């Protein structure tokens, strides 16, 4: 492990954590429950980066919880970052867009100045892309695919978006990093840098968002400040702090913090005085205060009931009650986690933004592939397995025991997606033929497979895993914005947890050979599929 880490020294920062700080979640409901748990416990910041937020009742319940939490904690800062095109795509059924949730937050909250929404968009797309208004075709060129969900110093890294299916029956990977303040600060800084150069939604509650009138994305020549911000990220956290301490701007910020602290102290004194006067409030004023709080709680209860109806469509009554119980426990019962029972681990974060020539993940992952022979075994998952030629050559030519997990055509996210997209699962099945290692296809009734990840054991017994947003596909390298976390440790308990995670996925997967793919009568690989694969490979 040390040798491999030495080969990765060119990339910084490395974060040192205890494996007990990392909690591996099992299924979509765990993910949904932990989002609510994070909101409930957050008092300073909630920072989300995602592809999009859905428009269903379960998503509205989340937004309602956000709104309620900011009412409780006036200083709570909410920062949302999503893809421009996916965020402005209008739903065909209810005619809503993902940013409509933000509109709701603005209208419901008195403290909306503490909220920001940024929409990331490729700055150099052809003009005709803008003509495809509210169409999914715009997303072919590039999407903001980074996913992190920060609640104060708790971080959730996953490949899942904030949409109903990802909470119910779309399998992904999820890790919660508890009390990871440096990691949280790093990703928060990254989001702040990205927000400086994203479309910024700024409008009053009475106006309708018009994507064509949004603040325009700044051109490449204006990214100087962005690159200066990210330059600090190349150093370790300690080194970055030393650089900041010599920076005049940083000193000014420190002074502002001191002033803010003094203001907060004054506000606290004022609040204490107000509390003393609270008894003098009239009965009518008290009723108004509690009535407002009651309305908020009532709305949350309504969303919970609507969420139950959604769950009932996908689960039996026993399962639904179990999910609701888990949700209630997360919201209303505090659990303490022992954070010192594990062993040290090293976490390396890579960011990938092709149009900014930020290709950290490609550089790091290529180093991993160059050292494949150091691994005794590898399990590799991708919901959309369309690897580059470089990756295919590394895989097919190495002697390491590697197995792949991918979606069966029925578990592909584009299965039954409509006429224009109906051929996509066939193409991914065809791409499997390029791999000379064992492939397991995930097939679970009513479920789709969105998991991506890498589990590896080294010759010295240590382990490594990669979790993030990348599918390791052609478009992941050439087009989309991605984030990955590389975790290295020798902890046997964490190794067992990762093994359980793999086995849980393999429990619903079946080995499929090249012969079976070619002879499959239902999913036929004909000349049309072969032709389409050449046309669309770079977009998938």
Distances (CA, A) of 506 to 184, 407, 442, 498: 32, 11, 7, 12
- Residue 53 is classified by DSSP as B
Tell me how far apart the terminal alpha carbons of the chain are, to the nearest angstrom. 33
**Alpha carbon separation from 281 to 72, 154, 269, 293, 409 (Å, rounded):** 20, 38, 19, 17, 64
pLDDT for 369:
92
Q: Which one is predicted more confidently, 59 or 496?
A: 496
Give the Cα separation of 515 and 530 in Å (integer): 17
Higher pLDDT, 136 or 521: 521
For β-strands 439-442 and 448-449, DSSP reports them as unpaired
231 has a pLDDT exceeding 50: no
Across residues 461-469, what is the average pLDDT? 94
Confidence of residue 159 (pLDDT cuts 50, 70, 90): very high
User: How far is it, in rounded angstroms, from Cα 468 to Cα 485?
Assistant: 6
Indicate whether 457 pLDDT > 60. Answer: yes
Residues whose CB falls within 8 Å of the CB of residue 190, separated by 6 or more in sequence, listed in order? 230, 233, 351
Residue 466 confidence (pLDDT): 96
Per-residue pLDDT, 227: 45
Q: Which residue has the higher pLDDT, 15 or 330?
A: 15
Looking from the CA of 518 toward its CB, the CA atoms found within 13 Å total: 5
Query: Is residue 51 predicted with pLDDT exceeding 70?
Result: yes
Res 161: pLDDT = 94
Share of the chain above pLDDT 70, in %: 64
DSSP string, 245-276: HT-HHHHHHHHHHHHHHHHHHHHHHHHHHHHH
* pLDDT at position 406: 94
- pLDDT surpasses 50 at 239: no
Is the predicted pLDDT of residue 417 greater than 70, yes or no? no
Query: For residue 442, is pLDDT > 60?
Result: yes
Alpha carbon 378 to chain centroid, angstroms: 24
Q: Indicate whether 113 pLDDT > 90.
A: no
399 pLDDT above the threshold of 70: yes
Q: What separation in angstroms does the CA of 3 have from each of 6, 310, 371, 454? A: 5, 50, 10, 19
Quick one: pLDDT at residue 279? Answer: 46
Confidence of residue 131 (pLDDT cuts 50, 70, 90): low
pLDDT, mean of residues 237-264: 55
The two tokens of residue 250 are: 């940083």
């Amino acid at each position: 492990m040390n040798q491999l880490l030495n080969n990765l020294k060119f990339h910084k920062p490395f974060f040192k954590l205890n494996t007990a700080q990392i909690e591996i979640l099992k299924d979509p409901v765990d993910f949904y429950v932990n989002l609510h748990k994070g909101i409930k416990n957050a008092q300073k910041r909630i920072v989300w980066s995602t592809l999009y937020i859905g428009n269903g009742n379960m998503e509205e319940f989340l937004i309602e919880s956000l709104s309620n939490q900011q009412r409780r904690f006036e200083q709570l800062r909410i920062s949302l970052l999503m893809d421009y095109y996916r965020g402005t795509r209008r739903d065909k059924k209810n005619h809503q867009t993902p940013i409509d949730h933000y509109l709701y937050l603005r209208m419901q909250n008195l403290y909306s100045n503490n909220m920001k929404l940024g929409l990331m968009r490729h700055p150099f797309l052809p003009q005709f892309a803008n003509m495809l208004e509210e169409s999914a075709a715009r997303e072919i060129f590039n999407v903001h695919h980074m996913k992190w969900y920060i609640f104060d110093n708790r971080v959730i890294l996953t490949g899942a978006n904030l949409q109903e299916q990802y909470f119910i029956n779309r399998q992904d990977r999820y890790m919660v990093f508890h009390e990871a303040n440096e990691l949280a600060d790093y990703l928060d800084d990254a989001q702040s840098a990205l927000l400086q150069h994203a479309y910024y939604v700024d409008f009053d509650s009475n106006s309708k968002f018009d994507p064509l009138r949004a603040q325009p994305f700044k051109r490449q020549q204006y990214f100087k400040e962005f690159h200066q911000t990210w330059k600090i990220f190349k150093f370790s956290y300690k080194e970055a702090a030393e650089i900041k301490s010599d920076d005049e701007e940083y000193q000014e910020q420190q002074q502002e913090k001191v002033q803010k602290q003094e203001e907060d102290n004054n506000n606290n004194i004022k609040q204490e005085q107000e509390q003393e006067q609270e008894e003098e409030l009239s009965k009518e004023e008290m009723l108004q205060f509690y009535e407002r709080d009651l309305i908020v709680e009532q709305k949350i209860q309504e969303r919970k009931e609507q969420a139950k109806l959604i769950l009932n469509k996908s689960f039996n009554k026993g399962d639904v009650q179990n999910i609701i119980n888990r949700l209630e426990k997360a919201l209303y019962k505090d659990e303490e986690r022992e954070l010192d029972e594990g062993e040290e681990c090293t976490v390396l974060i890579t960011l990938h933004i092709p149009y900014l020539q930020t290709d950290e993940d490609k550089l790091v992952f290529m180093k991993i592939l160059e050292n494949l022979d150091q691994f005794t075994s590898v399990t590799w998952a991708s919901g959309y397995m369309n690897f580059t030629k470089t990756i295919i050559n590394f895989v097919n030519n190495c002697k390491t025991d590697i197995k792949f997990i991918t979606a069966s055509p029925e578990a592909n996210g584009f299965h039954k997606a409509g006429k224009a997209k109906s051929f996509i699962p066939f193409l991914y099945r065809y791409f499997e033929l390029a791999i000379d290692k064992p492939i397991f296809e995930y097939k679970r009734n009513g479920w789709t497979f969105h998991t991506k990840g890498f589990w590896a054991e080294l010759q010295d017994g240590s382990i490594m895993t990669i979790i993030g947003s990348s599918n390791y596909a052609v478009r992941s390298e050439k087009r989309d914005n991605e984030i990955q976390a590389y975790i290295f440790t020798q902890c046997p308990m964490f190794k067992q947890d990762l093994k359980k995670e793999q086995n849980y996925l393999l429990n619903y997967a079946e080995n499929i050979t090249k012969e079976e793919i070619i002879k499959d009568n239902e999913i036929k690989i004909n000349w049309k599929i072969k032709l389409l694969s050449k046309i669309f490979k770079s977009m998938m």
